[in-house]
Structure formats: structure tokens, C-alpha cells
Amino acid sequence: MCGIVGYIGNREIKSRLIEGLRELEYRGYDSAGIAVMREGRIESFKAVGKLSNLEEKTKDFSTKGPGLGIGHTRWATHGKPTELNAHPHMGEYSYVVHNGIIENYREIKEMLEKRGITFLSQTDTEVIVHLFELEAERYEDLFLAFKATIEQLDGAYAVLLITQKAPDTIFFARKGSPMIIGRSGSGEIFFASSDAPLIGEADEVAYMDDGTVGFVTSETLHAEPDSLCFVPLQGDKMTAQKGGYRFFMEKEIYEQYEVMSDTMIGRVLDEDIAFEEIDDAFVDGITRIKICACGTSYHAALTSSYLFERLSKIPVNVEIASEFRYKEPLLTDDTLFIVISQSGETADTLEALRMAKEAGLKTLAVCNVDNSSIVRMADATILTRAGIEKGVASTKAFATQVMVLWMLSLYFAKRRRSMEHDAIKDELRFMSYVPKVLQKSLEVHEKCKRLSKRYLHGHGFFFIGRDIFYPLALEGALKLKEISYLHAEGYPAGEMKHGPIALADAELFTIALMPKTLLYEKTKSNVEELSARDSTILSISPEMFDLADDFILTHPHNHPMLEFFEMMIVEQLLSMEIAIRLGNDVDMPRNLAKSVTVE
Ligand code: M6R
């Protein structure tokens, strides 16, 4: 989704802004723009499409000496992805960039139009800059004018505004959309929508609270409320780069065995699961669990519903957050409300969490981004520790979500005494094998690359599986469609005969998840039914299957979750190789955004 950057300092401004925006490309965008203060005058450039188009447009422009600027990547919500709709939006003498949605922009626009102001774009954002210039006629103090502007906005926003009337100042405000301010030892100031552009640039950062409004110059920083708390910024640029892989997605698939160890460290013990973030009191009185999430995180949630019910004997209900929020759900206070989100900024999930909080439920977030909106709102958070995930198609975030939820189901099992001590110990032992299994599973990459050439056409893919392999089938189908743009569906294997089997023919590709440790014979019968209708079958299994056209042989394991994680890697690699052969940008698939901050 949209990305914001801002910079005050002595280095060349344009390059700082464009480099910052490049670090935010993974969020998804369709146009970009910058506004730079040069000798007291603002110059602005915008381009539709990739950042290289903006670079081309600005190739003859540069700055020398101290200055400032703001930049933006836009993912269209109000109005098409055109140059006019791209940010920054301008007034007579000021420019603004904005993430989020101004819900009452129509009323404000109407009021401004009545006063003779002409709008150039179809965006909600443009009202901010005109409103500011109107307020600046009322208030001599420009910060008061900015504050008065922000007070009139309903909705979600992260806003940066610059004006020729205060050429050394960036005004900022945040509510509901993320924004971070950073500073370096040499006095530079940075703004960004996430850590990524700040790594290697800022020495310390402050994650703005909702409702923060302020201004900054190279000399002064003023925020209201005065709650900015600067902390050292961890991480280095290298870890945020591709490190020799063709795509971030590929790098992230390969990182999974390492990040999984991070996820488990200090939590998976010999005889217990320990979470620093929650204690026994937190789960006291909980007799049911409700989980809300979107996309891949929803698939992790669905997987966990099998684990919670099987291991902890606790009823679990899983809902897609965008459905949950409008269904007038019945919530009881013996329910633990869990939200799962990689980014921690997904608007639908955030709203579901807000509803649960308002209903007085205990809330727990399983999230990858510390200090994100979801983390701040939940009563407690278990961080998945996957590290920055840049590929829009989620891989390592999914793996670590499933792991945290598996751990959580054992945590409950122990506290609810639903499993014998030895059974818990066995489960923990299997858990500790996961990083090794993930590493070994990567051996299948070459086979996926070779096979991918046979799966570039056809009229559709069915990913099928049973039990926990059903959500994994859903995830496989989502991965493939996101990056290859081929039609794919995930189905419970036993459900095919109730309708979808009508589609079966040689051009229908069935990707069959056939684990040996769980319902093998049942799944096999379902695959045979498809094979009998001439569907092309690719079986993923530790056992050869005569009726399959192709197979990917997995390692034999004696726990379903080990088979699950190995098959997850196969799905990720296969989808990625198909998409690469089709010539797609797998890191930034069309129409998608990494962080979906609109509903
Ligand atoms: O950041 P979140 O986990 O809340 O995001 C939810 C979905 O938007 C996300 O999982 C999406 O489906 C991914 N593109 C999947 O690869």
C-alpha cells in the first residue's frame, strides 16, 4: 500500500527520497512522486508506474546544501493511477503526501470548492493541502493552521506537509496509518511508513502514536502529545537486500529454516512452551478461541484450528476479518480473540481487533512487525520474528505464524491438561526438527524449476488436501495465483466430488498434497477419482503414486507438521518458478500491496 518518506539534511535531497521510496516498493504502488524545497521554492515531480520512471523525469534535477523534501508511492484508492492523482498534491504554495483514507473528504471538498478552490485530482488527499492554506489565512502560526487542518479530518492518515511559507519545516500527523520519524547522529531527520528506508540511515527512531501531530526543522522537533520516544534502530541494510537471490521471495523462502529457529528460541523448551509475552493469568477463564485474519494469515489461522482442537481440546472458530466486522458477531468474554497479521497494519484485521476489544474480550496478536498498529492495540502480542518480509507473496511470515500457533496450542494443552506430559515432550521434540526439515526441503528446488515448464497453461489448478493440508492447499493456490496470475483454487480433497470434479480434464491441473502421516488412503482415493476423469495430477508425497502424471517426492517424516512444512516449501518454490517462467515480477505482483491498509 502507499509509502511515505521525508528528509531534512545536507545530502542531495532527491536521491535520498527516491532511495527511501525504493525501500518501500515492496508495499505495492502504481505511481510515485516527490516534492523538494530548493532555495525556498518547492519543485515537484510525479510519474506513473515504476520508480525508474520518476528517476528518468528527475535526472537533470539535484540539490546542493541543506534542504528538505517529501516523497510518496501511491496505490490507487480514490481515482485512477494517473500523474494528476499521484502525490504530492499541491496548493498555491504547499505540498502534501498522505497514506490512508480521508472519509469526510467530500464534505471538505465541497466547502473548499464553494470558496473558489479548484481541484486538480480525484483524490481524497488533495483536500488536506487546500484546507491547510485556508487555515493559514486564519492563523499566523503555521503549526496552528496545520493542527486545525488535521482536526477536521476523519479517517486514517499519515501526513507530511511542506510549505514555501516555512521553508525549513516538515509538518507531520498520524492517525491509523503507520509513520516513523528517525534521526541520525549528524542531525538529519527522516520520515517513513516502515523501518526499511531508515535502516542504515537513521541511528534512532520513534514510532508515532495515533493522534500525533507536530513539526520538525533541523533545529527543533515539536510533537503533540509529547510522546515521541526515540529508540536505537536495529538491523543493517544488507539484511534488507536480496543477498544474491533473484527475488526477495526466493531469499525469504531460503531464510525460513533460520528464522524458524529465531521464532522458537527461548520458547520451545525441553518440557514446555514458554512465552514471555503471556502468562497463565492471561489464559485463565478462557474456554474458547476466535481467530480473525486475512489472506495467508487466515490460512495460518485455519491450520491452527485443527491443532488447537486436536491438542488443546479447545473449541476454535476462524473468520475472515472483512466478513467478521460486518456480521454483528456474538462475542462472549470467555473467548480469547486472536488476530494474525504479518504487517500488523491490515485494516480489516485491525477493525476486527478493535471490535473484540470494545466487547471486552482478551486479545492476542500474532504479528511480525513490532510497534505496528495491531501490536499496539492488542492486549498481548507474540511476535513471529520472521524478519522483514519484502516479497508481496508471504512465505516466511506464514511459516512462522503457523509455528507460533502450533506452539500456542501446546501451551494451552499443557495448561488445560489435555495432553499427557510425555505426549507434550514428543510434540516438542518434533517441533525442534522443523528448522532442519525446512533446510532439507530446499533440495527440491531444482525439481520444481524443471517441472514448472509443464504448468504454464491449462484452464486451472486445484490444490487439494485434507485436515491441516486443506489450509495448506488454500495457501498453495493463493501463492500461485498471486504471482503467476493463473487461476488456482484450494479445496478439501474430499469435497471435489461434490461439484468441482465436473471441471476435470487433461487441462485441469491437480496439485495433490498426499502426506503419509495423515489420511493418506483417503486422500489417495480422492486423487484417483480425479485421475479417472483425466485430470493432470502432480502429487506431492513421500510415496510414489502410479496414477500421478508428475510427482515431487518429499522426505519421509513421522509427524504431520513436518510433512506440512516440507510441502509448504514445495508449493512456494513451484509457484515462484512458474511465475518466473511466465516473466512476472514475483516480488511485486500486479494489483497487490504488501500492507493492505484500506478495507
Ligand atoms: O499483513 P497481513 O498478514 O495482515 O496481510 C494479510 C493479507 O493481505 C496477506 O496475507 C496477503 O494475502 C498476502 N499477499 C499473501 O501472500
CB-based contact 493:512 (threshold 8 Å)? yes
Fold type of domain 443-599: Rossmann fold (3.40.50)
Indicate if ligand 1 lies below 6 Å from the C-beta of 482: yes
Query: Stretch 553-566: mean pLDDT, rounded?
Result: 96
Residue to substitute in 340, 596, 597 for testing ligand 1 pocket (most ligand atoms within 8 angstroms of CB): 596
Distance 342 CA to ligand 1 centre (A): 7
Cα 322 to ligand 1 centre (Å): 13
Q: Residue 318: which of 344, 331, 337, 332 has the closest Cα? A: 337
Residue 72, pLDDT > 90, answer yes
pTM score over 0.85: no
Domain boundaries of the chain, sorted by first residue: 3-241, 245-432, 443-599
User: Could you tell me what percent of the chain has a pLDDT over 90?
Assistant: 73
Domains 245-432 and 443-599 share a fold: yes
CA distance 216 to 529: 67
Q: Which residues are catalytic?
A: 2, 594
CA distance 348 to 394: 18
pLDDT for 541: 97
Nearest atom within ligand 1 for CA of residue 593: 14
CB of 384 within 6 A of ligand 1: the answer is no
As a whole number of angstroms, the distance between CA 537 and CA 531 comes to 7
For residue 27, the model assigns a pLDDT of 65
d(CA 30, ligand 1 centre) in Å = 19
Q: Whose CA is nearest to atom 8 of ligand 1?
A: 295
Q: Domain 245-432: give its CATH code.
A: 3.40.50.10490
Bridge-based pairing of strands 189-192 and 180-183 is antiparallel
Cα–Cα dist 380/363, whole Å = 7
pLDDT digits (tens, 9 = 90+) for 480-512: 999 999 999 999 999 888 888 888 888 889 999
Q: What is the pLDDT of residues 299-324, one digit of tens each?
A: 999 999 999 999 999 999 999 999 99
Q: Is the CB of 346 under 6 A from ligand 1?
A: yes
Is residue 233 in contact with ligand 1, taking CB distance under 6 Å? no
Nearest one of 299, 245, 244 to 469, comparing CA atoms: 299
CA of 519 to the centre of ligand 1 (A): 29
Residue nearest to atom 9 of ligand 1 (CA): 295
Using a 6 Å cutoff on CB, does residue 393 contact ligand 1? yes
Is 3.60.20.10 the CATH number for 3-241? yes
342 Cβ closer than 6 Å to some ligand 1 atom: yes
pLDDT tens digit sequence for 234-292: 766 655 567 678 899 999 999 998 889 889 988 998 888 999 889 889 989 999 999 99
